[in-house]
Amino acid sequence: MKKVLSFLRSMRFGILLLSLVAVCSVIGSVIPQEHEAMWYVQNYPGTYAPILRLGLDRIFSAWYFIAILVMLCLNLILCSIVRIRSVVASSKTERERASKLPDTVRLTPEGVDKLRDHLVAMRCRGEKIGESEIFTKNSFGRYGSFLTHLSILLTVIVGAAALYLPQVTDQTCLPGESVMMPDGTEIRAYDFSIEDESGRLDFTSEIRIKLPDGRHSETKQIRVNYPMSFGPYKVYQQTYGTAGSVTVRNPANGGEDDFTLTDTVFLSLDGVSGIWYQALYPDYLQDPSGNVTLISSVSGRYANPVYEIIVSEGGQYRSLLVFPGDEIETGGLVFRFNDPVEYPGLRIKRTPPAVNALLIAVFALMTAALYITFFCDPILVKLDKDGYAVGGPKPERMRVELGAGFEAYERKDEEP
């Protein structure tokens, strides 16, 4: 049992776990997360099988990633407990033990006075123990390692809270429209494109977030793996879709209206004659005899979109395939079919404000802990009438400083 505990709290095990977390994080950054399975089939045709089988599409919620985090927390807790117990135990008796250290360097009386003045100028605190003076400074520096381990532990715990506690909502938003969140936050999509200027797939949305208190972000572009954060919200470019677009004109009064169609819908003036919008297809194939085969799925922009509709006239129905630019008149209305409208699917995450505040506090603690560890070495010097000795958990730097500064005052005629 002791060997198991020793391994669980060892630095080697901790470094291994941190390395595994880093590897998973890199994979989660390279492979876009939490898309539908078909998205990976289309975008990773050669490797989608292992991605889906190993859960690399949802790596941060995979059982093995959660197990790594749990083991890392256990390692850090065991390290912290052992370290704090030893540090507290040693700090209680350190000054008493230092008063019994033999002088490692013997100084002349003038050198003793000079060293005392130097330690006072360094703002070391002096304490008389027996015939010796014990000068200490940065006593809290011995807690630097403990605080570093504690801050890493808290980073893992609060980071896990930031990963698993946010409320996640998937929304589609047509360009020019907004999504209203339950707390009154408005997320507006201004533009969306599937391809860049060179024709390469590059799903990009332009959005702005307006909080209930009136604060709003700048209009920014988001892409896959490049989300936007503002306030408690983080918005990701998650997926995309293509909707039909129909302009309906009433010749009788000159009225005109535009409709964006994502579901089956009946457009009519009298409820009897009109058109049923059925579906929009991205492309088609036509053989020499004129037969048309519709293509139902493509990746990227619709090359040759085709509308499938049903025309209703006086109780008679007929199915048609129409193309952008075509017009159909029925039921006193003229229906003009336009180029399809591309729209984004957004993944919206709302993190509890307390989690964000805790993350800032933990990073501040880690910064302070690292500063204490590397720049606040504990100083403990025993000084008596014959010389001095350096103690404490990290005496090397102080020995070098005093050895170089007071070498001229060392007694050369006597051995310690």
Task: Return mean pLDDT, the chain.
Answer: 88
| pLDDT 10s digits, 214-225 | 999 999 999 988
Give the integer Cα–Cα distance in Å for 309 and 298: 20
Angstrom distances, CA of residue 236 to CA of 168, 187, 240, 293, 323: 11, 12, 12, 35, 33
Of 112-121, 138-147, 359-368, minimum mean pLDDT range: 138-147
Largest CA distance in the chain: 124
194 assigned to some structural domain: yes
- pLDDT of 93 reads 73
| pLDDT 10s digits, 64-87 | 999 999 999 998 888 877 777 777
User: Count of residues for the chain?
Assistant: 416
301 assigned to some structural domain: yes
Within 10 angstroms of residue 342's Cβ, the number of other Cβ atoms is: 20
- pLDDT of 8 reads 82
Give the integer Cα–Cα distance in Å for 170 and 155: 28
C-alpha closest to that of 381 among 398, 406, 393: 398
Do 303 and 271 share a domain, yes or no? yes
pLDDT confidence tier of residue 330, bands split at 50, 70 and 90: very high
- pLDDT of 70 reads 92
The more confident residue out of 338 and 33 is 338
Do 276 and 235 share a domain, yes or no? no
Under 8 Å between Cβ of 8 and 75: yes
Backbone angles phi, psi at 325, to 5 degrees: 100, -20
Residue 415 pLDDT greater than 60, yes or no:
no
Do 280 and 331 share a domain, yes or no? yes
C-alpha closest to that of 181 among 348, 360, 409, 381: 348
Do 237 and 259 share a domain, yes or no? no
Give the domain-ending residue among 339, 371, 386.
Answer: 339
Within 10 angstroms of residue 362's Cβ, the number of other Cβ atoms is: 20
Under 8 Å between Cβ of 80 and 146: yes
Within 10 angstroms of residue 187's Cβ, the number of other Cβ atoms is: 22
Give the domain-ending residue among 277, 310, 339.
Answer: 339
The more confident residue out of 345 and 5 is 345
Backbone angles phi, psi at 98, to 5 degrees: -65, -35
- pLDDT of 416 reads 45
Cβ neighbours for 222, distance < 8 A, ≥ 6 positions apart: 204, 205, 207, 228, 235, 236, 237
146 assigned to some structural domain: no
Q: Stretch 377-389: mean pLDDT, rounded?
A: 90
Do 233 and 298 share a domain, yes or no? no
Backbone angles phi, psi at 267, to 5 degrees: -105, 120
- pLDDT of 288 reads 84
218 assigned to some structural domain: yes
Do 235 and 169 share a domain, yes or no? yes
The more confident residue out of 242 and 401 is 242
pLDDT confidence tier of residue 413, bands split at 50, 70 and 90: low
411 assigned to some structural domain: no
| Residue recorded with tokens 């492309």 | 283
Residue 92 pLDDT greater than 70, yes or no:
no
**Which value, in Å, is the radius of gyration of the alpha carbons in the chain?**
36
Do 225 and 249 share a domain, yes or no? no
Q: What is the pTM of this model?
A: 0.64
Residue percentage of the chain with pLDDT more than 70: 98
Angstrom distances, CA of residue 231 to CA of 29, 167, 205, 363: 23, 14, 19, 18
Do 180 and 321 share a domain, yes or no? no
199 assigned to some structural domain: yes
Looking at the structure of the chain, the number of domains it has is: 2
- pLDDT of 5 reads 78
The more confident residue out of 258 and 298 is 258
Written as one string, the DSSP assignment of 347-366 is EEEE--HHHHHHHHHHHHHH
Give the domain-ending residue among 282, 305, 339.
Answer: 339
26 assigned to some structural domain: no
- Crossing angle of the two packed helices 144-164 and 63-99, in degrees rounded to 10: 160
C-alpha closest to that of 241 among 287, 310, 297, 315: 297
Do 284 and 211 share a domain, yes or no? no
- pLDDT of 353 reads 86
224 assigned to some structural domain: yes
Do 219 and 348 share a domain, yes or no? yes
Do 195 and 234 share a domain, yes or no? yes
Do 348 and 231 share a domain, yes or no? yes
**Range of the structural domain that residue 189 is part of:** 165-241+344-353
Under 8 Å between Cβ of 372 and 151: no
- pLDDT of 328 reads 94
Give the integer Cα–Cα distance in Å for 248 and 243: 16
